[in-house]
Chain A
Amino acid sequence: MTQQTYRKMWETLDLDLDAHDGLLEVLGKFYGDIYLSQQGRLAGAEYLDFVLSEIHGLRILELREAQAAGRKIVGTFCVFVPEEITIAADAIQVGLCAGAEAGTEQAEQIIPRNTCALIKSFVGFKMAKICPFTESCDIVIGETTCDGKKKAYEAFNELTPTYVMEVPQTKSKAALELWKSEIRRYIAKIEEVTGNTITAEKLKHGIEIANAKRRVLQRLTKLRAASPAPISGRDALLINQISFYDDPERFTTKMNELCDELETRIAGGQGVVDKNTPRLLLSGCPMAVPNWKLPYVTESAGAVIVGEESCIGTRNFRDLVDESGTTLDEMIDALAERYMQIDCACFTPNTERLENVTALAKDMRADGVIHYSLLFCQPYSHEAMKVDKALQDQGIPMISIETDYSMEDVEQLKTRIEAFVETLE
């Protein structure tokens, strides 16, 4: 595809072409510095490089072609929106990433300044018209998780049609029932948007595709428990990020190939770092493309990241949907149960997360944990303290980092992470 075709497409999407060029330039530079500079990468990383280089090109073209053929594009911001249903309705679900500082001034006209960077970014992307994914969406699905997002969706709805799912706040029986009814309400909505009826057979298909994607990500996690670490944390994070916007079946195939390669590496005792490199688990808020700041600082400080306990990480794939259901009702129950296992900090209480983080740190043989919360994120900043205590009880050191997308604190982050790594050596 030529650059010209892409420009035309971006024009059709009504992007602000100058601002968009600026974004692509930053993205390209970051990617070069943070990814392409790595030594001893996997052959399978070629797929990652390709997908990323075509993030606003080929993938958008695919989406546009699908749209021209009558399929609908659904944009989401949270792992609570059931992709199984979107797939069953023959629509395409994409995660709207929101990992860059862009359009902040515009966003601050409609949302308060003390809002987390992720929310500011998705509102900013929309207002500055620089995200072709956002602009391609036929519908955006929000959810009632944290207060910041809840209120932001009200503002967002004025810019683009936003449908909000009611995610419960607790894990009670009543909450499960509420979530089941919300899944049914989403089915009705997506049927209306697409004009397709969701049958048991189609939903089964949707469940299989989503589970297959989760299984390959689980496989990757297991392989990363090997020492020396067979893949960098940066590449693994990118894989998790790409899982939100590439075609799910292609993604699964490519990632299984990459895992095969990893197995060979591990069998040969090969790693991206040497055996004595401190191993760290990241835990906390999701890191969306191109928010690679902390992983980059961490891996430049002589450590390697072996897992991401976040929604762009294990929270997205740890639990599978039970596949034994045959009727629509049974499948909806299975879906609801699976989603209600997500240990998001927006729930109260959320003690499962403490157990899950500790178990993951042990499984991944992590020497320490970096807890990451975005500035102004109440749910995860609160839990940082609880996670710290839970890990301390198990003798696992943790450092709590609070930051955003700006680069002004990079030097301080470096010092803190390096000092943390020093304490582990």
Chain B
Amino acid sequence: MIAGIDIGSRSMELVVLENGTPVHSRTLPTTFDPLSQCEELLDGIKPSAVVGTGYGRELVKKILERLHPQCPVSTVTEIKAHALGAVHWFPEARAVLDIGGQDTKAMSIKDGRVLKFEMNDRCAAGTGKFLEYTAGVFQIPVDEFGAYALKGDKAPDISAMCTVFAETEATSLMAQGHRPENIALGLHKSIVKRTRNMLGRVGLSSPLVFTGGVAKNPCVLSLLKKELGAKARLLVPDEPDMTGALGAALSALA
């Protein structure tokens, strides 16, 4: 039984493999106490090996030392984990886009190996955080923000790249009388534009697998499809936010 754990800024995921196939998965919010959360995540699991990934991958080592000191633990970066996870679902994948809570990554891959990757820098622009923050301005739960934005039909241009300035810009657009659905659509568009540039820098190959929590956002998905054009194939796994944890677990098999 191999466990992959992905600790991100917003949530943490666990995927358990048996004979190379995922048999169990789980997610919990990271909160300010990731150690206890991760302990809970592993509750009842007796892994023979654990691989940590994500922002908090070093924490996984700490927890295992406490819970299962005999169990071998290693770490991989979220880049490699997402590539492995994506290829597991879609062996034909040539590129992966992951939009998570705190960062966005784009990579081109071949035969499961990462050829080139890009990540956003320390700024939250274009990440899940951006949507979470701006959804807050509309007082809409972030999970419903995409569906809400899809009701818009005419997106005003949002040029601010900074999350904080984008909020200011959204507020002033509201004051100018723009429909809130349209502003929401504009905010989604600005993310997709940024993402498209990042994909361009790694070489925009197809099929592209879209992973991470934001892949569940229907508005981002439809805008991205439009942006990439009819020729590109965009694939989304059933549980896009589990890709990192799955890939981490798979890395133990390689």
A interface, CB within 8 angstroms of B? 397, 402, 408-409, 411-412, 415-416, 418-420, 422-423
Contacts and interface: CB of A to CB of B under 8 A. Distances in A.
B60 to A, nearest CB: 14
A418 B116 CA distance: 13
Contacts of B76: 422
25 contacts: A397-B116, A402-B121, A408-B122, A409-B121, A409-B122, A411-B55, A412-B119, A415-B55, A415-B77, A415-B78, A415-B79, A416-B119, A418-B77, A419-B77, A419-B78, A419-B80, A420-B117, A422-B76, A422-B77, A422-B79, A422-B80, A423-B80, A423-B114, A423-B115, A423-B117
A411 B54 CA distance: 11
Given A397-B116, A412-B103, A422-B79, 18 more contacts: A402-B121, A408-B122, A409-B122, A411-B55, A415-B55, A415-B78, A415-B79, A415-B119, A418-B77, A419-B78, A419-B80, A419-B114, A419-B117, A419-B119, A420-B117, A422-B80, A423-B114, A423-B117
3 interchain residue pairs of minimum CB distance = A419-B79, A419-B77, A409-B122
Interface of B: 55, 76-80, 103, 113-117, 119, 121-122
A422 B117 CA distance: 12
Nearest to B251: A422
Contacts of B79: 415, 419, 422
Nearest to A421: B77
Nearest to A414: B77
Nearest to A409: B122
Contacts of B113: 423
Contacts, number: 35
A423 B105 CA distance: 15
Nearest to B105: A419
Contact of A412 (B114, B115, B117, B122): B122
A278 to B, nearest CB: 14
A163 to B, nearest CB: 37
Nearest to A402: B121
Contacts of A409: 121-122
A331 B117 CA distance: 49
B53 to A, nearest CB: 10
Contacts of A397: 116
A353 to B, nearest CB: 21
Contacts of A412: 103, 119, 121-122
A411 B113 CA distance: 23
A402 B55 CA distance: 19
A227 B122 CA distance: 35
Nearest to A416: B119
A298 to B, nearest CB: 14
A409 B124 CA distance: 12
